[in-house]
Chains A and B, each alone.
Chain A
Amino acid sequence: MGTLGRIFTVWRRNLDVYRVTWKVNFLPPILEPIFYLVAFSAGLGGFVGTVPYDGREVTYTAFIAPGMLGISVMFQGFFECTYGSYIRMYYQKTFDAIIATPISLDEVILGELFWGATKALIASSIMCVVIRFYGLLTFPDLLAIPVVAFIGGFWFACLGMCFTSITPGIDAFNYPMFLVITPMMLLSGTYFPLSGLPAWGQTVAQAFPLTHLVEVIRQLSFGGWGPGVWARIFAFAVLSIPLAWLAVRSMKRRLVV
């Protein structure tokens, strides 16, 4: 068994747990878009009407659906490798159990990161199906969304793992949640167009990874492979490498004593 095989066994362990608890796992990605779409399209959408996007007017519902997909990708990747990984590392001692076998800590962490990405893929796939019932996404472009979710989810999983490697305890995840994740969730062109922000706010928003993830998904959801889609996907993939390296290194510093 090579390194990839060993990473895969760690990933499979998490998948096996997910399959045991799948009913609970499937619920949020199914219900969340329904709740949000009902609230925003039926409720807020009536006041907002249409929103300018890419030189045209689109319905508010069509505008926020990709935003919700992007937020879900961020949350799935980030949550899995913060709370999820921390529980496995600290409370369940799962990492300790695995590294007593021929699998090394690097491989455990990489397995965790790929699992975080996989959860983003699963959740976005379910959401795509639900959103499709609103007549919002089109074939075959919607099939690219789960792939983008995997790549973007991996990046957010790496980010989460970096926090996990330095957090003093599970409660301290509140800091990145409220200082990093929440502002990104609200200000990345998710619920309203970036043009609604003042100029400096737009500049700041361009620095948020979620802005670019949502932009990719939104372009795909409007059936366009517009400029910057490929570049952004490529950027997420490339930027994942140093971040994954940092996550692994920092976790080793925490656990190998």
Chain B
Amino acid sequence: MPAAIVARSLTKRYRDQLAVDAIDLEVREGECFGFLGPNGAGKSTTMKMVYGFSPVTSGVLEVLGLDVRTRAREVKAQTGVCPQEDNLDPDFTVRRNLEVYARYFGVAAAEARPRADELLAFVALQEKADAPVMSLSGGMKRRLVLARALLNRPKLLILDEPTTGLDPQARHVLWDKVRDLRRRGTTILLTTHYMDEAAQLCDRLVIMDKAKILVCGSPAELIAEHARPSVVEVWQPPDALVTWVRARNLPCELVSERLFIYPESGDTLQREILGRFQVDQLIARRGTLEDVFLRLTGRDLRD
């Protein structure tokens, strides 16, 4: 399959700080590709380079077969961007926002109107077409930003933390739209802090930390490779339990008031613990992307 994005030794340096450190990357056409990482890992900077917002310091970056350094305008013409912060025009109505934005892509007025209406229907905002943007809820604004990003019928869609701050209903609606677009063949680049979002949407993803890519693969691959198959979590474990787990040489972590144990079989261990100790809360579960993330990037706060 041809590549939508190719990066070789892609580097971004801000004055004295290395934001992206010689990363290699290949995003296939038509896939939904995720960027995960703690704050300051370099995800957003990478995205900004991809859509020509931030100049590349060194390395190769080709988007849709075009060198971003010299042909940014052509790249931008085929790319849709949902930025992290809403930057809708507060003085316009919902529909007017789309019509004015369509002009920036050179879409004629006669064409912009039906296209705006079609996209408003797609994001279920047709009833709000004449409402002022100020009156929209956070979820509606995000959907409008998504609609705006689709005005130029992009081959590549960039979603920078698309569901941050949304309620669960709004997140699910947005996820449905993203899946819908992916089915239609749009290549999607997504950053997120939500592991469930990445697991739900991404065909493949990278986890970045400290300006570098740590791992790359499908959610299932990453879980199989980097997470333990089963996890038993115990809240406020009694000291005797901790001693017992350590004496049996079971891999474990004690994080504030929680004990994480990584046994071969969660069920067996769960029964054993419940039989021997008095514990208030215990769950046995499978390894998740969140375990992979925390294992690779640590539990320390970043900012």
Could you list which residues of chain A lie within 8 angstroms of chain B, going by C-beta atoms? Answer: 1, 5-6, 9, 12-13, 16-17, 20-21, 92-94, 96-104, 256-257
Report if A99-B106 is in contact (Cβ < 8 Å); known contacts: A20-B91, A92-B90, A94-B89. no
Contacts of B86 in A (CB 8 A): 93
**Which label, helix, strand, loop or mixed, suits the secondary structure of the B interface?**
loop
Residue pair A100, B85 in contact (C-beta under 8 Å):
no
Q: Are A101 and B152 in contact (CB-based, < 8 A)?
A: yes
Q: Given A102-B73, A102-B76, A257-B54, are A92 and B89 neighbors across the interface (CB < 8 Å)?
A: yes
Q: B77's closest neighbor in chain A, by CB?
A: A102
Interface size on B, residues (CB 8 A): 29
Q: How far is the CB of B90 from chain A (nearest CB, A)?
A: 6
Total contacts A to B, CB within 8 angstroms? 64
- Complex: A93 Cα to B89 Cα, angstroms: 9
Q: Are B87 and A94 interface neighbours, CB within 8 A? A: yes
Contacts of B89 in A (CB 8 A): 13, 17, 92, 94, 97
B88 neighbours in A (Cβ, 8 Å): 97
Complex A-B: 5 CB contacts under 8 Å: A93-B85, A94-B87, A101-B152, A102-B76, A257-B54
Please name 13 further chain A to chain B contacts, defined as beta carbons within 8 Å, in addition to the given A92-B87, A97-B88, sorted by A numbering.
Answer: A6-B104, A9-B103, A13-B103, A17-B91, A20-B91, A93-B86, A96-B83, A102-B104, A102-B106, A104-B72, A256-B54, A257-B14, A257-B54
Which residue from chain B places its CB closest to the CB of A256 in the assembled complex? B55
CA distance A257 to B106 in the complex (A): 27
Which of A17, A92, A102, A257 touches B105 (beta carbons < 8 Å)? A102
CB distance from B254 to the nearest CB of A (A): 42
Counting chain B CB atoms within 10 Å of each CB, the highest count among A13, A21, A102, A256 belongs to A102
Residues on B lying within 8 angstroms of A by beta carbon are: 14, 51, 53-55, 72-74, 76-77, 79, 81, 83, 85-92, 96, 100-101, 103-106, 152
Q: Complex Cα distance A256/B53, Å?
A: 7
Give chain A residues whose Cβ lies under 8 Å from the Cβ of B152.
101
Complex Cα distance, B103 from A21, in Å, reads: 21
B87 touches A96 (CB 8 A): yes
Q: Is the CB of B87 within 8 A of A101?
A: no
Q: How far is the CA of A93 from the CA of B55 in the complex (A)?
A: 19
Instruction: Report chain B residues within 8 Å CB of A93.
Output: 83, 85-87
Which residues of B have CB within 8 Å of A100?
51, 53, 76, 79, 81, 83
**A13 vs B76: C-alpha distance in the bound complex, in angstroms?**
19
Question: Within 8 Å CB of A257, what residues of B?
Answer: 14, 54
Question: What residue in chain A is nearest B19 (Cβ atoms)?
Answer: A257
Q: Closest A-chain residue to B87, C-beta based?
A: A93
Contact A16 B76 (CB under 8 A): no
Whether A17 contacts B76 by the Cβ 8 Å rule is no
B54 near A97 with CB under 8 A, answer: no
- The closest CB in chain A to the CB of B12 belongs to A257
Given A9-B103, A12-B103, CB of A101 within 8 Å of CB of B76: yes
Q: Is the CB of B92 within 8 A of A101?
A: no
Q: Which residues of A contact B106 (CB under 8 A)?
A: 1, 5, 102
Q: How far is the CA of A100 from the CA of B85 in the complex (A)?
A: 13
Q: Provide the residues of chain A in CB contact with B74, threshold 8 Å.
A: 102
Return A253 CB to nearest CB of chain B, in Å. Answer: 12
Minimal beta-carbon separation of B157 from chain A (angstroms) = 12
Task: Contact check, A21 vs B91: say whether CB atoms are below 8 A apart.
Answer: yes
Chain A: which residue is nearest B83 at the CB level? A96
- Cβ of B101: which chain A residues have Cβ within 8 Å of it? 97, 101
Residues of B within 8 A of A9 (CB): 103-104
A238 to chain B, nearest CB (A): 30
Q: B27 to nearest A CB, angstroms?
A: 18
Q: Give the Cβ gap from B96 to chain A, nearest Cβ, in Å.
A: 7
Q: Which 6 A-B pairs have the closest CB atoms?
A: A93-B87, A101-B104, A100-B81, A97-B87, A1-B106, A17-B91
Are A103 and B104 in contact (CB-based, < 8 A)?
A: yes
